[in-house]
Structure 1
């Protein structure tokens, strides 16, 4: 099970962002405890999706780079002349 822990400073910044979002977008106030609970819930629910997508992105980047390296290696090959 993915258990994402954020450093306290980052979590405090997120709490403030959630509070600002609720105030600006919904004209509602949300306390820091409510905002933190929402963040914890969203991390628990969305974390695995974000994690899996990050892995897929990393896998694709590695595959692309490996293909480029293979092309580069073929480009380094020297022609061989066959003597008869």
Structure 2
């Protein structure tokens, strides 16, 4: 699944990467070079983060489903228990 960023997200990411390269390595990078680098990382490394997120979401949902009756159970006939 290809990761798509909105124009605003892409602009913010490019600026952040450029700032990082400048601060950490003293490298000035054009918008085009930075965008191509970002696209490479999204394509190559992005799936690791995506798959981890899917796995975390699955584990979260499974844990909630295992206790579904416990978390959603309503006791009947509670009027006289007051």
TM-score (norm 2): 0.81
Structure 1 residue 71 displacement after superposition: 2.7
Determine the structure 1 residue equivalent to 2:23: 24
Moved beyond 4 Å, runs of 4+: 73-77
**Count of matched residue pairs:** 77
Structure 1 residue 62 displacement after superposition: 0.2
Determine the structure 2 residue equivalent to 1:66: 65
TM-score (norm 1): 0.79
**C-alpha RMSD of matched pairs (Å):** 1.9
Q: Tell me, which stretches of 5 or more residues in structure 1 are unaligned?
A: 78-84
CA distance in 2, matches of 1:33, 1:16: 11
Compare CA radii of gyration and give the structure with the larger one.
1
SS in 2 for 1:29: coil
Q: Tell me, which stretches of 5 or more residues in structure 2 are unaligned?
A: 77-82
